[in-house]
Amino acid sequence: MILIYLYIISFSLIGYGIIVSKYLSINTNCFGIFGILGITFIGIVSYLSSIFISHNMIFNSLILLIGLSLFLYYSILIKNFKRELLLLCAICFIKIIFVLVAKNHDDFPYYHFPYISLLTEYSHPIGIGVLNNGFRSPSSIFFISSMFYLPKSEIFLFHLTPAFIQIFANIVFLKMIFDKKIFTRNKFYNFYSLFAFCFINIFFYRLAEHGTDRSGMILLLIAFVYLIHICTLEKKMSENLSDFFKIFVILIFFVVSIKPFYLINLLLFIIIFYYGHTRKIFSKLLFTPVFFYSLSFLFFTIFFTFLNSGCLIFPVSQTCFYNFEWSLSKETIQDVKVWFELWSKSGARPNFVVENRIEYINDFNWLNSWFQNYFLNKVSDFLLGIFFTISIFYLIFYRPNIKKKTKVTNYQLLYVFLIFCLAEWFFKHPSLRYGGYHILAVIFFIPASLHLSKLKLNFDDYYKKTLILVLVVVTIFISRNTQRLINENKLYDYNILKNPNYKFIGGDKNFYFRYNNHMKEDRDKINQKNYFGKKVLILSNK
C-alpha cells in the first residue's frame, strides 16, 4: 500500500496546491510548486483540526479524497498537464526505492513517531513537553505526517512527509534546469538549480537521515533561487515577480515551522527591504491572503510550542512563562539549551559526555574536540564532496571563451546573509544537520553558478550535457539506495517483497504506548478542563 499511497497522496497534495494558488493568485503551472503549496495547506489543516479532534482514519481519508477530487477537477485545466503528470509519475517511480526503509531516522522512535501517533489518538493535549524533550518544540512535519494515518497502511506512512518535499523539490529544480527562457535570460538560475538537484539527490539520498532538518534545507534551496529572482535588476524577468515573491514568503514562513533554528531565515526579509521594487511588492502583500497564510505558520509554531512547554520559542528562556501548570522549570530549559549546544559541539556522543558541560561549550574549549571528532569525519568529507561536484561541472561545461558583457545577478546581500548564518552556526550549533549542509553548499554553489553562467554555451549543447548529468545523478541515487536495501536486508532482515513497512529499530511497533499509557494511567498529573465546551487534557509539571 505504501507505493500506491505515494501516488495518491501526491495527487491529493497537488489538488490542494492548485486551490491555494488560485486563492492566493499565484500564477504557475508547475506540479512541484503545487505540491509544496499543498503540503503547506495540509499543515494548516492539521494545525487547526488537531486543536479540536484527533487525526483518525475517517478524518484523514476524507481530507485525502477531497484533495484527489480537486486534482481531478482542476488539473486538466493546467497548461502542459500531460508533461507535468508524466514528470511527477516518473519521479515518484524513482523515489519508490527512497521510501522503502527498514530503519528510519534515529529520532523517529524517540519522539517523531510518538508525537505523530498521539495526534492520531487525541485532540492536541496541553503540556506534553513534560513527557519528552523532543515534544517541546513541535515540527510542522509531525502535524502533516499525522494526516497520513490511512486505511491499510495505518502507522506506516508516518515517515513520508520528507519524501514528498524532496519529490516536489525535484520537479521544481528540473523545470528550472531545462527552461530555455531562463537559459536565454540568465544561465545562473539553470546552473544553480542543477547544483541543487545534484545536491539533494546525492547528499540527501537516504530518507532515514532526513528527520525534520533536511526538509527545511531543501525548501530553503528553492527559496534562495526565488529570492535572487525577485531581487534581480533585470526588468525582462519582472512579469513573474509577484508570483516569485509570494512563493518565497510562503516558503520562508513554512520552513520556520519545521525547526526553531530556522527562525534565523526571517532575516532574509532585510534583503527584501533593501530594494525599492521589492519593498513596493511587499507593501502590497501586507494584510492580503498571502500575508495571513504565511504568518499562520509562525503563529501556530509559537502557539503549539507554548502549549507544550510554556515557552514561545523553546529553549529560549526569555520567551518562557513559568506560572502555568504545564510550564517547564528554568533549570530544565537551561539544561536542554546546554545539551543542544553540547551535542552539536561534540561534547556528547552516544557513549560519552564531558564532565563540565558549561565550561566545555564556552570560550572555544570545544574546538579541538569538535575538530578531531566531527570536522575531520563529517565536515571535511562533505566539503570534499561539494568541491568534487563543482569540479565535475567545470569538466563538463567549462569553455575558455567567456562573455565580455554579462548580466549582473544580485546575490551579494544573500551572500552576506549566508556568511552571517555560517558564523552563527559555527559558534552556536556546528552540526551539519542543524543548518550547516545547505549554508556551506550554497556558499560555494552561488559563485560557481555565476561563473558558469558567463560561459559561451548554446542551449542545445547545454541540454544534452545536462540531461546526461541528470541521468547519472538518478543512477547514483538508485544504486546507493539499492545497496542500502541490500545492507538493511542483512542487518535487519528487511525484505521489501515480503513486507515493505519500516521496522522499529531502537523501539518496536508499540513504542509510543509509553506516552499513550502515561496519559491514560498517570491521572495525578493529568487534568481535564473545559474550554469552549470541549474537554482538554492538561499534563502538569507541578
Please report the pLDDT score of residue 401 as a whole number. 64
According to the model, what pLDDT value does residue 85 have? Answer: 93
pLDDT at 384: 96
Q: Using one digit for the tens of pLDDT, what is the confidence trace for 83-114?
A: 999 999 999 999 999 999 998 888 888 889 88
* Digit-coded pLDDT (tens) for 267-310: 999 888 887 778 888 888 888 999 999 999 999 999 999 999 99
Q: List 526's β-bridge partners, or say none.
A: 539
Least confident of 157-166, 247-256, 453-462: 453-462
Of the pLDDT bands very low, low, confident and very high (cuts 50, 70, 90), residue 10 is very high
In this predicted model, what pLDDT tens digit does every residue of 323-367 receive, in sequence order? 888 888 898 899 888 988 998 998 887 777 888 888 899 888 999
Cα–Cα distance list, 4 to 43, 89, 93, 96, 157 (Å): 22, 12, 10, 10, 11
| 270-280 per-position pLDDT tens digit | 888 887 778 88
| 315-320: average pLDDT | 90
Nearest Cα residue to 169 out of 30, 43, 68: 30
Q: What is the pLDDT of residue 235?
A: 47
Task: Indicate whether 140 pLDDT > 90.
Answer: yes
pLDDT at residue 142 above 90? Answer: yes
| CA 403 from centre of chain | 37
| DSSP 3-state of 348 | strand
Q: DSSP secondary-structure letter at 512?
A: T
**3-state SS class at 137:** coil
pLDDT at 532 (0 to 100): 45
User: What percent of the chain clears pLDDT 90, i.e. is strictly above it?
Assistant: 57
Q: Where are the domains of the chain?
A: 2-312+498-539, 317-457
* Beta bridge mates, 402: 455
Q: What average pLDDT does the structure give for the chain?
A: 88
Q: Cα dist. 486→94, 97, 99, 490, 496 in Å?
A: 17, 12, 14, 7, 10
Confidence band, pLDDT 50/70/90 cuts, at residue 50: very high
- The owner of cell 538549480 is 193
Q: Residue 510 pLDDT > 70, yes or no?
A: no
What does the pLDDT read at residue 394?
A: 92
CB-based contacts of 489, cutoff 8 Å, min separation 6: 102, 495
Each residue of 60-91: pLDDT tens digit?
A: 999 999 999 999 999 888 888 999 999 999 99
Alpha-helix residue ranges (DSSP H) falling in 122-187: 140-146, 161-177, 180-185
pLDDT at 131: 79
pLDDT for residue 75: 81
State pTM to two decimals.
Answer: 0.93
User: What would the pLDDT profile of 468-501 be if each residue is shown by its tens digit?
Assistant: 999 999 999 999 999 999 999 999 999 998 899 9
Mean pLDDT of 522-526: 50
Least Cα distance to 476 among 395, 399, 392 occurs for: 392
The set of residues, in sequence order, having a beta carbon less than 8 Å from that of 315 and lying 6+ positions away, is 136, 137, 333, 334, 336, 337, 340
